[in-house]
Structure formats: C-alpha cells, structure tokens
Amino acid sequence: MRKDYYAVLGIEKGASADEVKKAYRKLAMQYHPDRNQGDPSAEERFKEVSEAYAVLSDVEKRQQYDTFGDTRFHQQFSTEDILRDFNIDDILSSFGLRGSGWGNFRTRGGPGGSIFDMFGGAGRARPEPPRPQPKPQRGRNAELPLAISLYEAVHGSERAIDVTIDGQTREFTVRIPAGIESGKKLRIRGKGHDGPAGPGDLMLVVKVEADPRFERRGADLHTVAKVAPSTLLLGGSVDVETFDGTRALRVEAATPSGRQLRVRGAGVPKLGGSERGDLYVRVEVAMPERLDEAQLEAARALREAGL
C-alpha cells in the first residue's frame, strides 16, 4: 500500500517548491546509503523519499497527483514512469553527496520488475562513472592588422590578401563591410594556427587610415570648402568633393566665414545598415595672395560702403 508523498517528506500539501527541496535534502542526507552501510531499511527509505521528491518537485506530476489522489495517480504512472527522467546524481551532487554512478534510476529484474537499482544493489560495489575524454582542440586564433582607406570604410570593398602563419602562406579574399571603424575585427574562419581539430580563426584588426580631405566623427564626415569673398557676400555655389563625386553646394548671400553647411546622406553608413550619416562643410573665405588694381578698387569701394 502506497504512502502519501507529502507524509513521506513530512510536509504539508501546500508546501512551496523550496520547502519540498529542503525536506528532501534533509531526508536524503539522513538515509543516504553511504551513511548507512549494510542497512537495507535505510536504503529502502532513501528510495521512498526519492520517489516522493521526483513527483512533488515536478510541477506537472505534482498537479496530477494533487488532482487525482494517490490511487488514481499510480493507475496512470508506474514507479518506473515517475523516475525515468529523475537524475539522482545531479541532485545528490547539489547537496554535496556522492552520486550513485548511474545518473538516472533504472529497473532491474526483467519485465515487470519493480526493484530500483540506484546504488548497484546491496553488497555490490558502485561502478565509477566513465570519465569524459577531452575533445580535440582547434588551433589558436591568429591576430593581424589590416589597414584600409576611408573610402573603403565608406563604401566597403573586397581585398585579396595573403598572410603567413605557422610558416605557411595562405591567400584569400576578405570582404570589408561599409561603415567599419578602427578597432573592429574581421573573423576569417579556419585561417588561424593549426590544431588537432583543425585550424583556429584569423582575426584582422581594422585600422582606417586618415584622409587629408575629411575628418570622420562617428557616421558623419567633416570637410572645409574655400569660398571667394564675393560668394559669401552675394551668394552663389561652391563645388564640394564627396566620396560619391563632386556636389554643387548652394551658399546663401551674407554667409559668414566659418558657417557649416550640411549635405544629408553623404557620410559613412552605419555598420550593418544602409542609412548613412551626413557631410558637414565649413565654408571659409579664400583670400588671394595678391590683389590687382581692379580688386583693390573693389575692396576700397566695399570699405567705403561699410563692408
């Protein structure tokens, strides 16, 4: 005749999962066969509390046990069903106790057998669990610098390169994604140092070289355009170089030297996306080295006009 699982663990029916675990831990340590050598009653008691814990620690099984009661529950589930996925070794090790060596409970005695062999049976030595063999390791990753131009960082590119690792020269093509920044790494799988399970990876550390025409600030570019004084005074346009070709930029009349004008979408793409930053153009007055007589006369007229 079966016993009430709650009574077996000495807890109330509404006990929390934490209370169930604490009760089982206490009883498992008390009746563990290592602490009760040669005492079959202790081993039987240990099996009993373990079966109770296997049901009450499983949310689905506990709900069915509470709903149908002990008798109807065991009409649907045999003891083998209850303990099939119950890993005793994992639970015991979490309590600081030695495991059974089997991992999961298992039945013995042939079909219909109901004796559960957790510890190899009374009087038998417990088999040691097989020690896992170390897996072959891949080779170490190699790390090398890769210098690229700002143009490549803006538009992306493909670069054929060759590197020498472990005395072997390896040639391959690397794809440089648009928007990449200095310090980012490109992983080339299987091109690193050799190892028993195959070579490691090659890590290319990107260095974006400076461009004398542009300064990069995140996804935006900054440049300077020299403009004639008359264009700043009267308005007009100035040709600005971008990475997509030359653009004519409108300059409003009375634009002060040093003002920034923006060209939307002419910056650097955001890595992994298509959206680009902007190009900021600072217009500065371009002064001639020498003034001819006509220019001097025009300058004097401007001065007289208060400009």
Model confidence pLDDT, tens digit, residues 55-81: 888 888 888 888 878 888 777 777 777
- Number of domain units in the chain: 3
* Any domain includes 137: no
Beta bridge partners of 283: 225
Alpha-carbon span 285 to 229, nearest angstrom: 6
Lowest mean pLDDT among 34-43, 84-93, 149-158, 179-188: 84-93
> In whole angstroms, what separates CA 108 from the centre of its chain?
46
Is the domain of 13 the same as that of 90?
Answer: yes
Interhelix angle 40-56/59-76, nearest 10 degrees: 120
Please determine, for residue 45, whether its predicted confidence score (pLDDT) is greater than 50: yes
Is the domain of 247 the same as that of 280?
Answer: yes
Beta bridge partners of 159: 174
Is the domain of 110 the same as that of 28?
Answer: yes
CATH number at residue 111: 1.10.287.110
* Any domain includes 128: no
Q: Which residue has the higher pLDDT, 102 or 23?
A: 23
For residue 39, what are the contacts with CB-CB under 8 A and spacing of at least 6?
33
- In terms of residue numbers, what domain contains 147? 142-208
Grade residue 109 by pLDDT with cuts at 50, 70 and 90.
Answer: very low
